[in-house]
């Protein structure tokens, strides 16, 4: 025993041993590649130098709570009871060690006495971990009996804490730098992937637009020669119509994605029943299914309750899912469309016996521009937008959509769940074309003025509406339209919005300024601009209906018939 060792104390380490402990600590901390390795070096140094019976390292987490990171001979119950405690504030400057030579002699710790007794703790010391004036955490030194802490003992613990704190700070800096580099690398890879996706998408759009244009142009020129017989001419017209519809769908999908990305895709919510909407979607696809020899069945179970939704957008959802099933189901396969009530939801399932979905592709199925097939060997066309639009539309309705498949060539099932309505719908603005059900147009004695600078469009619409019985007048400019309006009183005005000189909005301004001297006709805006703000602007200008090009002549005729149905006396005059 050394002469200066107090009675009842074990002799401390010799100076040469302390030097060895510190050398080992510094070497170990400098070599450590993780915080856990530094904690282990710290406990090893503490246990071999100041020789506590127990020891621990606690560090502040991201929320500013002191958490156990490493320990020696401490029970889980004890750690759980004292974790989070700190004798210093998180932003404390120059925190000093806190020494308790006899925990049972300190009245301020009375609440912890049962815990100390159960754990076998008689003395404790709190040693702060500080690096560059930042408090990182603490050491806890525990002795089984009351302990007379010598100044050099506390100083040694502080020296160990100093090296450990700087090691931890360095480790944290390295981790932050590595995380930053990893984030930068991930961002770079994401940017490169986005560029590749953009290039692939542009190439895909070019392909999807050019392919039908080739067929359309070829058949159009053959029709112009007059050398096709009646059967071949009918086939040519069918091909042209099918490809026009295909291009229209591509443009519609692109516009919808643009609205989704900009957050401008909105719904016209009404109380709607799902069976007729589903039946309409099935009817649209049925001919394509029958053409492939597919068995398309529907099971629409009766259920009470409507859905608060946009009928046009819901039909778009169902059409997309059924069209996908037709596209990916080989000839002779089957498709089943089922509607049933599931508690407070309507459940729509579209099941096919087609090519199925690979498990690794399922998580990407509803992402924009994602397709299971890529490159020049694709068997199926499309831009990979349909399912992304489906998901967004379903979520706008407060519903969910999911896909399931046992695997490739084993079919797939798409399930949409929509909440049943529990409240009355909010009445919308002026009637829109999306809420007018198409039928056989009957426009006898209806006077219609068509205003559009595109002569082919004017000629087509005039011919179609005339065939429905309407008395049609055309104008290719606003001044010409105003001249017609002064000489005639059309019941319905169909006007383009974008025209050289004065546009459709200016035309509507002229018409509104003549009221009530000259009653304004019912006005339909017909335009290639299909953004939500264009629609709102047209309705605000005085148009009752907004239709985006291209429009089916029969659809336009049905809209006109619906608008004038309540004006039979005037129309007949």
Burial class (CB in 10 A: 0-12, 13-18, 19+), 480: middle
Percent of the chain with pLDDT over 70: 85
Least confident residue range of 72-86, 163-177, 377-391, 462-476 = 377-391
| Averaged pLDDT, 404-410 | 88
Q: Which residues does residue 415 pair with via DSSP β-bridges, in sequence order? A: 349, 402
Name the band, by pLDDT with cuts 50, 70 and 90, for residue 482.
very high
Query: pLDDT at position 10, please?
Result: 53
Q: Each residue of 557-566: pLDDT tens digit?
A: 888 887 886 4
Query: pLDDT at position 384, please?
Result: 61
Residue 62: what are its φ and ψ, rounded to 5°? Answer: -65, -25
Query: pLDDT at position 431, please?
Result: 39
Enumerate domains of the chain plus CATH numbers. 15-179 (3.30.450.40), 201-262 (1.10.287.130), 270-419 (3.30.565.10), 435-572 (3.40.50.2300)
Tell me whether the omega of the peptide bond preceding residue 507 falls within 30 degrees of 0, making it cis.
no
Least confident residue range of 2-11, 29-38, 88-97, 405-414 = 2-11
According to DSSP, the β-strands at 522-527 and 492-495 are parallel
User: Which residues, at least 6 apart from 513, have a Cβ–Cβ distance to it below 8 Å?
Assistant: none
Which helix H or strand E contains 59, and what residues bound it?
strand 54-60
Look up residue 140 and give its two tokens: 């806890």
Least confident residue range of 376-380, 385-389, 492-496, 517-521 = 376-380
Q: Which residues does residue 300 pair with via DSSP β-bridges, in sequence order? A: 339
The structure's pTM equals 0.43
Largest pairwise CA distance in the chain = 128
Q: How far is 410 from 354, CA to CA, in rounded Å? A: 6
Burial class (CB in 10 A: 0-12, 13-18, 19+), 78: buried
Q: Which of 345, 359, 352 is nearest to 327 (CA)?
A: 352
Q: Which of 199, 238, 232 is nearest to 216 (CA)?
A: 238
Q: How far is 195 from 201, CA to CA, in rounded Å? A: 10
| pLDDT, greater one: 548 or 189 | 189
Mean pLDDT: which of 365-379, 397-411, 469-483, 537-551 is highest?
469-483
CB 140 within 8 A of CB 56: yes
Instruction: Tell me how many helices (H) and strands (E) the chain has.
Output: 15, 17
Q: How far is 260 from 5, CA to CA, in rounded Å? A: 79
What are the CA-CA distances from residue 270 to residues 127, 274, 385 (Å)? 68, 12, 26
User: Which residues, at least 6 apart from 503, have a Cβ–Cβ distance to it below 8 Å?
Assistant: 478, 497
Q: Each residue of 347-383: pLDDT tens digit?
A: 999 999 998 888 887 877 877 655 544 443 333 444 4
DSSP three-state, residue 138:
strand
| pLDDT, greater one: 272 or 471 | 471
Q: How far is 422 from 344, CA to CA, in rounded Å? A: 9
CB 450 within 8 A of CB 462: yes
Query: pLDDT at position 218, please?
Result: 87
């Amino acid at each position: 025993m050394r002469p200066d060792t107090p009675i009842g104390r074990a002799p401390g380490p010799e100076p040469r041993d302390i030097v060895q402990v510190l050398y080992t600590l510094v070497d170990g901390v400098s070599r450590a590649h993780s915080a856990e390795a530094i904690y282990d070096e710290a406990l090893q140094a503490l246990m071999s130098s100041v020789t506590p019976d127990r020891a621990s390292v606690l560090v502040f987490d991201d929320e500013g709570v002191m958490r156990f990171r490493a320990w020696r001979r401490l029970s889980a119950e004890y750690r759980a009871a004292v974790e989070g405690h700190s004798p210093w504030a998180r932003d404390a400057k120059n925190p000093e060690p806190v020494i308790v030579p006899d925990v049972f002699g300190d009245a301020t710790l009375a609440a912890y006495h049962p815990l100390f007794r159960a754990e076998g703790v008689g003395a404790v010391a709190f040693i702060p971990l500080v690096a560059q004036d930042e408090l990182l955490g603490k050491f806890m030194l525990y002795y089984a009996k009351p302990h007379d802490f010598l100044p050099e003992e506390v100083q040694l613990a502080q020296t160990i804490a100093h090296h450990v704190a700087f090691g931890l700070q360095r480790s944290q800096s390295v981790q932050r730098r590595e995380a930053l580099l990893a984030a930068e690398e991930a961002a770079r890879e994401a940017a490169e992937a986005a560029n590749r996706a953009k290039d692939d998408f542009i190439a895909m759009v070019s392909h999807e637009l050019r392919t039908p244009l080739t067929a359309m142009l070829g058949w159009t020129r053959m029709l112009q020669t007059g050398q096709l017989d009646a059967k071949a001419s009918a086939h040519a017209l069918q091909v042209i119509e099918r490809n026009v519809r295909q291009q229209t769908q591509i443009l519609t999908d692109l516009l919808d994605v643009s609205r989704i990305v900009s957050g401008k895709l909105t719904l016209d919510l009404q109380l709607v029943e799902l069976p007729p909407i589903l039946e309409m979607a099935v009817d649209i696809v049925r001919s394509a299914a029958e053409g492939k020899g597919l068995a398309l069945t529907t099971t629409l179970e009766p259920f009470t309750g409507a859905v608060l939704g946009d009928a046009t957008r819901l039909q778009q959802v169902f059409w997309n899912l059924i069209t996908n099933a037709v596209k990916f189901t080989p000839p002779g396969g089957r498709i089943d469309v089922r509607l049933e009530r599931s508690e407070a939801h309507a459940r729509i399932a579209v099941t096919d016996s087609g090519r199925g979905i690979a498990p690794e592709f399922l998580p990407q199925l509803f992402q924009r521009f994602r397709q299971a097939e890529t490159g020049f060997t694709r068997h199926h066309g499309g831009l990979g937008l349909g399912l992304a639009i489906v998901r967004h539309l379903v979520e706008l309705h407060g519903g969910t959509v999911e896909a399931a498949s046992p695997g490739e060539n084993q079919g797939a099932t798409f399930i949409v769940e929509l909440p049943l309505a529990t409240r009355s719908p909010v009445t919308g603005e002026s009637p829109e074309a999306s809420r007018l059900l198409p039928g056989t147009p009957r426009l006898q004695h209806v006077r219609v003025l068509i205003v559009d600078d595109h002569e082919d469009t004017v000629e087509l619409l005039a011919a179609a509406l005339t065939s429905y019985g309407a008395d049609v007048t055309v104008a290719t400019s606003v001044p010409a339209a105003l001249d017609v309006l002064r000489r005639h009183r059309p019941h319905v005005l169909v006007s383009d919005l974008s025209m050289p000189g004065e546009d459709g909005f200016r035309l509507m301004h002229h018409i509104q300024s003549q009221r009530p001297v000259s009653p304004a006709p019912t006005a339909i805006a017909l335009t290639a601009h299909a953004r939500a703000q264009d629609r709102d602007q047209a309705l605000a200008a005085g148009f009752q209906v907004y239709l985006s090009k291209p429009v089916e002549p029969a659809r336009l005729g049905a809209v006109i018939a619906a608008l004038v149905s309540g004006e039979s006396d005037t129309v007949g005059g």
